[in-house]
Amino acid sequence: MSEAAAWLDYRVRWPGTEAHPGRHATRYAGAGGALAGFRPFWQLPDARHVDVRRSVLDPFGQVMVRQATSRGSLTLMMAVDLSCSMRPQPGSGLLREVAALAEAAARSAHKAGDRFGLVTFDAGVRGEPRLAPGRARFRATEVAAQLAAWAPETRSAAGLLSLSDYLPERRCLLLLVSDFWIELPALEAALAALARHDVAPVVIEEDAMATWPVRGLVRLEDAETGRRRLVWVRPGLRARAEAAAEARRVALRTVFGRHGRAPFFARGALDIAALGRHLLES
């Protein structure tokens, strides 16, 4: 991973929730943040922030002081789907890329003064790999190594439905990494349960059609059910498959759009720099 891609840029549009010094504006009065308003000197006796113009214009002749919001921190969480569809081929490098994303997120959170935590799920929420929210970067590196070496063996991703029980009580930014091969009503229910958090979906797409011949037999396997079948590939079938993939993207955009941020689609390699730009723009 290059140094440029080793950082994950992100921001939130809501106040930071923790008093630990950080880069996010909070609702609390302090110094160094955005201007929150003006208060009489007797309420906020700090001569460093006296506003001469506001004091001269005050109809009651009071000395007025600028009040700023403080800068604080938040928690960046990452939830990773470890069901079989996330590693469709033996030796797939996908989870190594997800592990690199976890390291980049942990490094960026540390730089911003934020806490970083990670949970994983398949049929349920897993006991490992897992990282409790904190600021110790070396633990994030250990958990990322576990992720990179993980061999999924469970075909269900139903743990997404109970994920909210394993996240902090206070609002956090949640990177939700999955291929989201679950029924849309179940996804709606999971997102409703996560409503108190800022969910940033990262949709993993397998580019299976890249290996298809123009015409010929292909053995396909459903990564969730394990079912295999031989399919004769022809231009019409490829067109229908591409149309179905696009329809699914539209459906996911619609569902996620109702619950917060637009999804980031990672097709092929997981581009951390592109994900960072998406998080800054969404």
Residue at 277 is within a domain? yes
State whether 125 and 231 are in the same domain.
yes
- Say if residue 210's pLDDT is above 60: no
In this structure, the number of other CB atoms found within 10 A of the CB of residue 160 comes to: 26
Is the pLDDT higher at 1 or at 202?
202
229 in the same domain as 197: yes
Which of 18-22, 232-236, 244-248 is predicted with the least confidence, judged by mean pLDDT? 18-22
19 belongs to a structural domain: no
> How many folded domains does the chain comprise?
2
Of 229 and 175, the structure prediction assigns the larger pLDDT to: 175
Greater pLDDT, 240 or 274: 274
Whether 87 and 38 map to the same domain: the answer is no
Residues 56 and 166 in one domain: no
Residue 81, pLDDT > 70, answer yes
Residue 214 has pLDDT above 70, yes or no: no
Would you say residue 238 lies in a domain? yes
What gap in Å lies between CA 261 and CA 255, rounded to an integer?
10
pLDDT at 177 over 90: yes
Same domain, 86 and 191: yes
Instruction: Give the type of residue at 117.
Output: G
What is the per-residue pLDDT for 82? Answer: 93
Q: Find, among 167, 161, 110, 165, the residue nearest to 139 by Cα.
A: 110
Per-residue confidence (pLDDT) for residue 100, from 0 to 100: 93
87 and 62 housed in the same domain: no
In a domain, 204, yes or no: yes
Block residue for tokens 């409790």:
132
Query: 247 and 117: one domain?
Result: yes
Collapsed DSSP state (helix, strand, coil) of residue 131 = strand
Encoding tokens for residue 222?
Answer: 């459903």
Looking at the domain assignment, is residue 14 inside a domain?
A: no
**Confidence grade of residue 152 (pLDDT, cut at 50, 70, 90):** confident
Whether 3 has a pLDDT exceeding 50, the answer reads no
Same domain? For 118 and 233 the reply is yes
Full residue range of the structural domain in which residue 101 is found: 75-281
Which residue spans within the chain are E strands per DSSP? 24-40, 64-72, 75-81, 115-121, 131-134, 173-178, 198-205, 216-221, 228-233, 264-267
pLDDT band at residue 244 using 50, 70 and 90 as cut-offs:
confident
245, pLDDT greater than 90: no
Q: Are strands 173-178 and 131-134 parallel, antiparallel or unpaired?
A: unpaired
**Beta carbons within 8 Å of 93's beta carbon, 6+ residues apart:** none
Q: Find out whether 266 and 203 touch, Cβ atoms under 8 Å.
A: yes
Q: Are residues 181 and 55 in the same domain?
A: no
* Pair 190, 100 in one domain: yes
DSSP state of 1: -
Share of the chain above pLDDT 70, in %: 76
Instruction: Inform me whether the pLDDT recorded for 217 exceeds 70.
Output: no
Of the candidates 102, 105, 90, which has an alpha carbon nearest to the alpha carbon of residue 146?
A: 102
Same domain membership, residue 181 and residue 111: yes
Q: For 173-189, give the secondary structure using H, E and C.
A: EEEEEECCCCCHHHHHH
**Residue 105 and residue 60 in contact, taking contact as beta carbons nearer than 8 Å:** no
Q: In this structure, are 34 and 112 located in the same domain? A: no
Return the pLDDT at 246.
87
Query: Per the domain annotation, does 3 fall within a domain?
Result: no
- Cβ neighbours for 56, distance < 8 A, ≥ 6 positions apart: none
CATH number at residue 232: 3.40.50.410
Alpha helices in 22-83 (DSSP H): 52-57
Token readout for 23 is: 């880069």
**Weakest-pLDDT range from 28-42, 45-59, 103-117, 150-164:** 28-42
Average pLDDT on 53-73 reads 84
- The whole-chain average pLDDT of the chain stands at 83
* Joined tokens for residue 170: 């206070």
* Sign of the torsion formed by the C-alpha atoms of 209, 210, 214 and 218: negative
